[in-house]
């Protein structure tokens, strides 16, 4: 913050052609008292950090509750559903929102690649949410969540939201039954898997909208919220 204010003063001094010490003293005399300014900025910084961490956690919880809840309804053991909810929600969802600001300057393709990679890594705990040891394909659910979070950070046509869970379901079946041969394909498994991936989709969209709503409330002062 001090670095930024110093840069600002130098820019203003340069623009006004102030080069001497007396010129700079005149400039500083026009400004708010540094203590007052520092206090305002410090309060703002603290609130910004609280907002970022609070909204990341809340948005991640939406994703976690939705996916964990779906697993419970499917008939998974409660502790596996809970572990999945925590890993998917806190690690993947919350983690993504917490670190996203560090790659906002990248071009869209690089942002997507980083989002998918980061969320895949954050979802390593998901690989342990099985009864049969570590399952690496679980990381794809984390990567899919990261893809959706980044892709839907902007408004997208409705057909994207419809196609994405269908395409991911097809990919998972292709991997699990076709390539890895880990499970036997059955038609009754398709709607189950599709509904789970659609739940991820819907929870991501809800989390993004919720976070956007909180952001708008944070930016506007109470008088402006109407």
Partner 1 sequence: MYGYQIIETVRLRTSGTYTLKEGALYPALHKLEATEFITSYWETQENGRERRYYSIQPAGHAFLAAKTKEWNQFVDMVQAFVGPRL
Binding site for partner 1 (CB under 8 A): 1, 3-5, 7-8, 10-12, 15, 31-32, 36-37, 40-41, 44-45, 47-49, 51-52, 100-101, 104-105, 153-155, 212, 215-216, 218-219
Residue 49 Cβ, how far from partner 1 at the closest point, in Å? 8
Inter-residue contact 67 to 86 (CB < 8 Å): no
Q: Which is nearer to partner 1, 47 or 74 (CB)?
A: 47
Residue 214 Cβ, how far from partner 1 at the closest point, in Å? 8
Rounded distance between C-alpha atoms, residue 144 and residue 61, angstroms: 17
Residue 5 Cβ, how far from partner 1 at the closest point, in Å? 7
Q: Which is nearer to partner 1, 186 or 221 (CB)?
A: 221
Residue with tokens 């994207």: 160
Residue 10 Cβ, how far from partner 1 at the closest point, in Å? 6
Residue 4 Cβ, how far from partner 1 at the closest point, in Å? 5
Q: Which is nearer to partner 1, 153 or 161 (CB)?
A: 153
Query: Residue 116: how many CB atoms within 10 A of its CB?
Result: 21
Torsion over CA: 198, 200, 206, 209 (sign): negative
Beta strands in the chain, from DSSP E residues, in sequence order: none
Rounded distance between C-alpha atoms, residue 120 and residue 122, angstroms: 5
Q: Which is nearer to partner 1, 26 or 47 (CB)?
A: 47
Q: How remote is the C-alpha of 110 from its chain's centroid?
A: 16
The total number of residues shown for the chain amounts to 226
Rounded distance between C-alpha atoms, residue 53 and residue 152, angstroms: 20
Q: Which is nearer to partner 1, 7 or 180 (CB)?
A: 7
DSSP state of 77: -
Residue 30 Cβ, how far from partner 1 at the closest point, in Å? 10
Rounded distance between C-alpha atoms, residue 84 and residue 139, angstroms: 11
Tokens read off for 193: 């898997």
Rounded distance between C-alpha atoms, residue 220 and residue 217, angstroms: 5
Q: Which is nearer to partner 1, 156 or 182 (CB)?
A: 156
């Amino acid at each position: 913050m001090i670095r930024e204010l110093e840069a600002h003063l130098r820019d203003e001094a340069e623009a006004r052609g102030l080069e001497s010490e007396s010129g700079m003293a005149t400039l500083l005399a026009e400004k708010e008292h540094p203590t007052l300014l520092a206090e305002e900025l410090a309060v703002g910084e603290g609130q910004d950090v609280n907002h970022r961490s609070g909204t990341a956690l809340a948005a991640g919880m939406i994703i976690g509750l939705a996916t964990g809840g779906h697993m419970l309804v499917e008939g998974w053991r409660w502790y596996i559903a809970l572990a999945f909810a925590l890993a998917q929600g806190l690690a993947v969802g919350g983690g993504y929102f917490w670190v996203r600001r560090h790659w906002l300057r990248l071009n869209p393709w690089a942002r997507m690649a980083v989002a998918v990679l980061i969320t895949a890594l954050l979802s390593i705990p998901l690989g342990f949410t099985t009864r049969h040891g570590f399952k690496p394909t679980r990381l794809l659910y984390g990567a899919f969540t990261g893809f959706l979070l980044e892709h839907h950070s902007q408004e997208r046509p409705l057909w994207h939201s419809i196609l994405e869970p269908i395409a991911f379901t097809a990919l998972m079946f292709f991997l699990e039954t076709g390539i890895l041969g880990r499970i036997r394909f059955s038609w009754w498994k398709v709607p189950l898997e599709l509904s789970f991936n659609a739940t991820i989709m819907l929870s991501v969209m809800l989390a993004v909208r919720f976070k956007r709503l909180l952001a708008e409330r944070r930016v506007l002062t109470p008088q402006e919220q109407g």
